[in-house]
Structure 1
Amino acid sequence: DVYQSEGRLDLVMECMSGGELFTRVQKRKRFSEADAATAAYQMLLAINYIHSHDVVHRDIKLENFLYESEESDYLKLIDFGFSKVWKKNTSMQLSCGTLAYVAPDVLMQNYSSQCDLWSLGVSVFIILFGYMPFSGSEDKQINDIKAGRYVVKKQYWERVSDVAQDFVKKLLLVDPLKRLTAEQALQHPFVVRRQAKTEEHLCAATVDALISFGTASSFRRAAMSMMAWSLTNEERSTVRQAFIELDQDNSGTVKLWEFKKVLLAKFHVKSEEAQVIFTALDTNNTDEIHYTEFLAAMVSTRISMHDDLLKATFDRFDVDKSGTITVNNLREVLGENFAGSDIDQIMREADITGSGDITYEEWIRYLRQEQGTEKQKDVAAQLIDGQLQKTKSEPKILQMKSAEFGKKGVAAGTVGKEAACCCCQ
């Protein structure tokens, strides 16, 4: 949320109540290799995402990764105070960051986005071995960092596998051109081995939610897109891993080729069908699906559309707090059009009484009962019928009669015991 007054601009961010990664390391002294690999993987996802959007953090450290909750192992990167939009093939000169984590090329005042990978190497070093790689006086630390001379305590290194040691060594290379990039680090055996042990979360219910979103009316998609910003951490966590499985190249977004590849391989969804769904999800027309757009699709079936969520989303559209949503409210929030649909047309879809605005009662009625036009229902029915024909013998696909679409919605069917996965239960 953003609140603007005459003298200030306030940003309200999500609450990460689990505390710093640094604090958890202090309590545990050191992580097991499996836990360290999981943490490294999550840190790399964040770094790879910002690097793919030409942003360099410049202050990667344990204190700048927060856990979602005390019970969670899910990390997020914070504190972009030193971050910079960076053009590839150019260098940065400003020395910034935290000395114990800073890269030698930063100290030399000639560096690129690779400085973040050195800092990640220091972070993983601490998690794995339980001590700082560079310590002592400021001058000693600077000299050791420039030389790539970190402390090796044999009694701690002997407990760690060669694969894990290799991962750290390839991040703590003085030459940034030889240092692993975020993309390369995600493919290192230390990280990949951890991924191989994870469960699959992309199940038939998720695909049905995507189909439902793809065939919904423009206003319904706009409303669900806004709802995505009001979801709690707990609600997001139910579908997070499914998005990560779609994101084949770990870039933080899902591209069309990834979307088609996964849906064809796992659910036999044809390329043309996947294209229709992808286009509906890509509300910003960026040729890629962002996490928020994916969450919007999940609101249709996978995440409960409860009263608090409906009210919070209504309030986001009701920007002037008049108690109704007007066409001007929609324009202020969505712009002149949304996903190719004119705002006036979107208003007509949801203005059930024709009064020119949308009351909260109309809002509730529309979102809880509206399931798209007859044409949209026919498209959805065809997609689902095609799925049923191809997957009669496959227990992992959600079995559903297309006739139920108009009455219950795409993902309103039941999941058989053998078809259920951990994200469907």
Structure 2
Amino acid sequence: MLNTDASGTTSSIGPGTALTCRLCGTTDLRSFCDLGATPPCELFLTEQTAQQPEQTFPLHVRVCNSCLLAQLPPEISPEETFEEYAYFSSFSSSWVDHARRFVDSAQERAGLDTGSFVVEVASNDGYLLQHVVAKGIRCLGVEPSVNVGEAAREKGVPTLTAFLTPETGARVRAEHGPADLVCGNNVFAHIPDVVGFAQGLRAMVADDGWVSIEVQHLLTLVERKQFDTIYHEHFQYYTLLTGQRALAAGGLTLVDVELLDTHGGSIRMWARPADVAGEPSAKVREVLAAEAAAGLHTPEGHDGFAEAVSTIRDDLVSFLIDARRQGKRVVGYGAPGKGNTLLNYCGIRPDLLEYTVDRNPYKHGRLTPGTRIPIFAPERIAQDRPDHVLILPWNLRTELTEQLSYVREWGGTLVFPIPSLEVV
């Protein structure tokens, strides 16, 4: 049971069970967004597992009243999620191109050459480090998932199967030398031990090196109502302020930031060991000021998001019910983790969404967790010619609008649920 006072502060999840902020250690947390209970978003069901009960876990984000870190309790361990993983980064061509551009810019910023050493944490299937390899720069991926790590090795990307801890960082440094650049794209939210992870980064990076962390920005999550990016793999949600504090806990100082369009709005934080960092850039001050103006540098400034989320649910469900009553056929495109948060929170099942498709063969023939919607190959859409296609990975809007342009041949439409319902 949640014990919540009139201010929205949640102090416990049961008798004697205190929620503790994983960054500063206080127990003074307040409710931010409660999406009920859902199964893990990447545990797609096979024909066999679909006959068995599914475990669900609370999906309730709180904000620390002290350090302001937005966070989920660690209901599921990283080992349960990532040792066998369904997400392969390379299936998104735009994401691979994004990684290539990052490598080009990082090479210039950090002065990388053939004598340099680059480490990527959560390197997935080698989508990014393949561009480092192509430049003749020595590199190493640190990736906990056995299956996607093997895909990286097949691309010629050296990969260590491990989670990043201070011990792992020290091991990498001892075996390979200090890294001129350590990067982590979309991993900083996935680790429950924020301080230990930051210490692991510091252990690997050279004393005059660079650390780059790309993570979704809580400011855009709130402004664009991106509640579906909340799922159990994401243990925390960062403003630049809380990201700065998390890096500092490991001995790293924020020196610069970039605002990116990826994942609906991300920040790329550049940090260095404290002794060589110097003063932060004007861009850091600018983004911090924007967060403060939006109220996200106070606990109370996070209030109101939950009500906006319920409006999105109501609009989407009403659209799907109306389509069913009119005899319209609605299918989905994509089976991302965020899509499963959306489907479960909205209670959307095959009576409202007949099936969805995905480019990843791993998911074909499986069912979405919780809602049990069948997943097929993308070619199924052209065969069936549905009236509406609900886009679940809305962050790839430009890429998917082009890929699905053929839907207009039979008068079909694309439906985008976030930040508000849009039928194109």
Tell me the TM-score normalized by structure 1: 0.25
Larger radius of gyration: 1
Tell me the TM-score normalized by structure 2: 0.25
Q: Name the structure where helix makes up a greater proportion of residues.
A: 1
Q: Name the structure where strand makes up a greater proportion of residues.
A: 2
